[in-house]
A and B are shown apart, each in its own frame.
Chain A
Amino acid sequence: FELISDEGYRFDGRKPSELRRVRCNMGVFTQADGSAYIEQGNTKVLAAIYGPHEASNNMRSRVCLDKCFINCEFSQAMFSSAERKKRSRGDRKGKDMSAHIKQTFEAAVRTQLYPRSQIDIYLQVLHSDGSLYCACVNAATLALIDAGIAMKDYVCACSASLTKETSLIDINHVEELAGCAEFSAAIMPKLDQIIYSELNGRIHQDELGQLVDAVTNGCKDIFAVIDRFEVITDNTEIAVSPRSLHS
């Protein structure tokens, strides 16, 4: 079947460069130091941050004297996908995802500000409908902001696929299954830096530029959504922002 109709619309009625609806909320839990919930279409992810705190007993060996280390655990609810999962965490895909998210945030968090400590990022997927890595990164960014942990910039992630020389962004589960090349990237939108990128599948070298552009634009759109959300809910931030102090 075709991923894109003759009229130029995708399976779920989106245009190629259109994101799914993003809804997010911060501070959803009381137990965690920071937490966030994000919905990108039907993909629903919860993130909780614990820390910075003293390293827990089984992680003593990972303590760094000049910076903190990040511990990430990705977990997918057994009922989150069409086929029931046998294990919610610790399987190969989960380990892989945890490692990628950990590396992404090691590049973005100002780890040298928290020497000899540990920051835990826990992610729980409740409903999975494609672009899991991206939703997890976006949720973790919001949760880290909620926890008040210093970062160089927001981290926004977006995925894209290529079909008939058109790049589709924020791909859902059906589009993932179609088997086209899949490209995901996490960027820091204000610094204009790519901190993570992954390409699965075969594309021509000349097409890479187009995909990177599509993903970067997608990330910036996501940034616009979660950044606007920030301003609306966090009144204190507006009151102490440098602009209002100078004017």
Chain B
Amino acid sequence: MEDIFKHIQPVEYYKSFLKENIRPDTRTLQQIRKTTLNVGPITTADGSALVKIGNTMVMCGVKAELTQPTAEEPKKGIIVPNLDLPALCSSKFKPGPPNTQAQVGTKFLDNLIKIANLVNSEDLCIVPDKLVWVLYCDVTCLNYDGCVIDAAVVALVAALRSVSLPSVTLNEETDTPVTNINEKTPLTINCLPVASSFSFFESEHIITDPTLSEEDITSGCLTVVSDEHENLLLVDRPGGVSITEDQLEICIQRSFKRTKEVHKLYKAVHKPSESNDQT
């Protein structure tokens, strides 16, 4: 009976829970799902991470390649993020070329890398104007249950943090790169951003970390990205119902709190001895 009600009247169903200040998955409105981070599951990638936020599951693999830099920025390496939302992850998506949501997500990650200055692009330069590293960061969603961008950011940062690049020199005579696999230096990450998403239900309820069914019935969402020093990096609000300044302030405060929690995860996995942790 309850199941039928849920499918026929999803909004009414949700409201009956909100009256009691609880959500259908027994969380309170502020509560965030359990986040799990696993670093290095894929050995063919130069860096990789698997992130779970509740049922949402995202994997990021970083592949490093050598390339010629662009003419405008001869001393800068290149980072290319890509978010993939395959048909495998949800019945919402159909097979075919990348959908709008995947492209918006890719652009979001690209902006974040630039704004947060995640990696000094000069660090990726080997020989100016001739040889630089290009890091392909492929983020694949395996199970879509809301807040994919939050999981994607954690996966991207954790995967980039696990990258070690071999030392490369350019042979002047033959103009070919020579790689020394034995000498590897870890990539320096300047900043550890964390994204937190919120949904707004009837413009008065702020729902933290919405699931897919919550994303579907709510009107408009907000994503806040902040770093460990309580700096705001990105605030993304792609339309929807209007919100007040106070609500924005609440969301920002909650995102700072979440950033601190996820930082414990980042710290825990960065010790070489441990590779798994949970909050």
Contact = CB atoms under 8 A, between A and B. Distances in A.
Interface of A: 28-32, 42, 44, 46, 48, 50, 53, 56, 58, 71, 73, 75, 77-82, 84, 88-89, 120, 122-124, 126-128
A53 B87 CA distance: 15
Given A50-B91, A58-B94, A31 B63 contact: no
A124 B142 contact: yes
Given A32-B91, A123-B88, A127-B43, 11 more contacts: A31-B145, A42-B43, A78-B61, A79-B44, A79-B62, A82-B44, A89-B86, A122-B87, A122-B95, A124-B142, A128-B44
Contact of B42 (A29, A80, A84): A80
A129 B159 CA distance: 21
10 closest A-B pairs by beta carbon, nearest first, are A79-B61, A122-B88, A79-B45, A84-B63, A78-B138, A29-B143, A30-B55, A48-B88, A31-B90, A73-B95
B143 A79 contact: no
Interface string B197-227: 0000000000000001000000000000000
Nearest to B142: A46
Interface in B78-97: 82, 84, 86-91, 94-96
Interface residues of B, number: 32
25 contacts: A29-B143, A30-B143, A30-B145, A31-B90, A31-B91, A31-B145, A32-B143, A42-B43, A48-B89, A50-B87, A56-B94, A58-B94, A58-B96, A73-B95, A77-B140, A78-B61, A78-B138, A79-B61, A79-B63, A88-B140, A89-B86, A89-B95, A124-B86, A124-B140, A126-B42
B136 interface: yes
A46 B88 contact: yes
Given A30-B145, A78-B138, A127 B88 contact: no
B123 interface: no
- Majority secondary structure, B binding face: mixed
B57 interface: yes
Given A42-B43, A58-B94, A128-B44, A77 B88 contact: no
Contacts of A123: 88
Contacts, number: 89
Nearest to B57: A29
A61 to B, nearest CB: 15
Interface in B32-68: 41-45, 48, 55, 57, 59, 61-63, 65
Contacts of A50: 87, 91
B144 interface: yes
Nearest to A53: B91
A32 B136 contact: no
A120 B95 CA distance: 10
A75 B142 CA distance: 12
Contact of A84 (B57, B65, B142, B145): B65
Contacts of A89: 86, 95
Nearest to B94: A56
A89 B142 CA distance: 15
Nearest to B212: A31
A235 B268 CA distance: 37
A128 B208 CA distance: 37
A44 to B, nearest CB: 8
Nearest to A37: B142
Contact of A78 (B87, B91, B136): B136
A144 to B, nearest CB: 15
Contacts of B144: 31
Contacts of B48: 79
A73 B41 CA distance: 24
A84 B173 CA distance: 28
Nearest to B46: A79
